Structure 1
Amino acid sequence: MSTFEGTVEHYRKYRPGIPDDVATILSAAAPSRRPRRLLDVGTGTGLVAEALIGDFDDIIAADTDAEMLAAAEAALRPELPATSTLLLSHASAEEFEPPAGWQPDLVTICRAFHWLDQETVLQRLDQYVAPDGSVAIFGDNSFWTVVSDWKTAIRSLIQQYLGEQRRAGAGVFQHHNRPYSEILQESPFSVVEEHRVPVHRVWSTESILGYLYSTSFAAPHLFGERLTDFEREAADTLARFSDNDTFDEHNEFLIRIGRRP
């Protein structure tokens, strides 16, 4: 079973996309030439490729989840410029092989690096990323880790239903303590720059539940027959923090861009 089994519908609808300011930083990290090539690793439903689709001529989006890739295909194909190409690859980052001679100018890994064999992936990327290309590892904070009063209450409720430890599908999430910049600095892409982009969002009860159901730690199937009970308790919990069903979130994207010396 995929770690994100049963989440694709919610993922596409409720996962926040990539802000324009983040897309601008990512695009600027790639050399300016034609054709310009993007490899999006762990693409999910294609949110990163969607944000950058007009800036690259050739895009390959890779993921291990066939349902996610189908959703990415459906979203991206109609938006693809006539002069661009798009390939959806059903492969892990550790096993992905680009077409012969194909060298990405930018590799993006968004909200996915913690799932990977990080050293192995970075060594493999070194075999085919363009000599002056770059690797961008980035993401914002999930509801599990960002602290606010209403998020803390919702996380506690999830723990009441699913246990104290953060779930990862059928397993338990393995936290990585080392900063990604350090990991990049020990890789072939050792020249690292960081960017922080603040994000303000406003959520509703519906979108909060939809987001939670897009995650590996609160996927609908994990609740089993108690899903309806969880939804009811979550709505009651959130109502304590807002009388108009609006919930502010202050988050940020942390972007690490690695290049070879």
Structure 2
Amino acid sequence: MTSSTPSYTPEELFASTAPYYAAHRPRYAPEFYALLTSRFGLDGTQRVLDLGAGPGIIALDLAPRVDTVIAVDPEKGMLEEGRRLAAEQGITNIDWREGDSTTLPGMGLGPVLLTVMGAAYHWMDRDQVARDLDRITEQGGAIVLASGGAPGDLEPADWRHVVDKVRTRYLGPERRAGSGTYSHPKERHQDVLARSPFSQVDTARWDHTLTRTVDEIIGWVFSLSYSSPAQLGEQKDAFKQDLRQALLAFAPSGRFDEVIRTEAIIATRP
């Protein structure tokens, strides 16, 4: 049932995930924000950069702790979703800007204390980005990478193989990225940062169990770039129906547990 490759641009691919991303991606642990607040003395006066911000998963939670969050993302649809969510929540101190890691030097961002990235660093030229951030990061500042941990760190939930099986039937075994395929970089983020100007690297982790419904699982699947609505094209509805049936056959209760990790890599200058 593997479909032919749909015609879309990478921008359309990520735009199609935006509403699902905002609604169904797990949030980072509250302890993550508490750690940043205590370690860097966040008191409502700082400027921080959220690079690869998407719809503002981190920016929205960080905004109450700082003066300004500059949220940079290349995808207009993600920024529009972020602006909508910020307006909904009455958050007014996020500066939403279109751009990416390659446009950083010419964006006139000014000094920032922190640059945070949520599962975005692996898409970038990591060495170059660290050098570029060194030019705009204040003394005592840091690069902070937030993610669910490196692939393979956690044993996947038992229902994940059901999702993988259905997705493979429709899209094939490779993780697609744009019109090509994606593979996670082999070198760990910590090792890249250790040779950067931000060579003092610490890692913190927090785990908790998240229980989701069938609809929440399907929304999460559509939030992934490699199983986005743009990837599925006209087969989206059929995929959704098949996935729902397969998940309920696996767990008739319609409840799906998963251990969710927040990993924070904090890199400072020595």
1:226 has 2:235 as partner:
yes
1:140 has 2:148 as partner:
yes
2:132 pairs, out of 120, 124, 128, with: 124
2:195 pairs, out of 180, 186, 198, with: 186
Provide the residue aligned with 1:252 in structure 2. Answer: 261
Secondary structure of the corresponding residue to residue 239 of structure 1: helix
Counterpart of 2:176, as a letter, is R
- Equivalent runs, 1:1-261 vs 2, <5 Å: 1=9, 2=11, 3-32=13-42, 35-77=45-87, 79=89, 85-97=93-105, 102-140=110-148, 147-261=156-270
Contact conserved, 2:37 with 2:43, CA < 8 A, in 1?
no
Aligned counterparts of 1:190 and 1:88: Cα–Cα separation in 2: 29
Quick one: percent identity of the two aligned structures? 24
Aligned counterparts of 2:98 and 2:249: Cα–Cα separation in 1: 43
Please provide the CA RMSD for this pair. Answer: 2.3
* TM-score, L = length of structure 2: 0.88
**Unpaired runs of 5+ in structure 2?**
1-8
Counterpart of 2:58, as a letter, is V
Provide the residue aligned with 2:4 in structure 1. Answer: none
Counterpart of 1:201, as a letter, is L
Secondary structure of the corresponding residue to residue 139 of structure 2: coil
Q: Which has the higher helix share?
A: 2
Aligned counterparts of 1:35 and 1:20: Cα–Cα separation in 2: 20
Moved over 3 A (4+): 31-34, 77-81, 97-101, 141-146
Deviations 1:135-166 (A, max 9, x none): 10120159998622210121122112101111
**Unpaired runs of 5+ in structure 1?**
none
* TM-score, L = length of structure 1: 0.91
Q: 1:247 to 1:150 in 2, by over 3 A?
A: same
Contact conserved, 1:44 with 1:63, CA < 8 A, in 2?
yes
Counterpart of 1:176, as a letter, is P
Aligned counterparts of 2:238 and 2:134: Cα–Cα separation in 1: 49
How many residue pairs align between the two structures?
Answer: 259
Secondary structure of the corresponding residue to residue 226 of structure 2: coil
Deviation at 1:20, TM superposition (A): 1.1
Deviation at 1:30, TM superposition (A): 2.5
Contact conserved, 1:80 with 1:86, CA < 8 A, in 2?
no
Q: Which has the higher contact order (CA 8 A, sep 6+)?
A: 2
Q: 1:80 to 1:190 in 2, by over 3 A?
A: farther
Further displaced range: 90-99 or 161-170:
90-99
Contact conserved, 1:198 with 1:252, CA < 8 A, in 2?
yes
Secondary structure of the corresponding residue to residue 43 of structure 1: coil
Counterpart of 1:23, as a letter, is Y
Further displaced range: 134-143 or 242-251:
134-143
Further displaced range: 223-232 or 142-151:
142-151
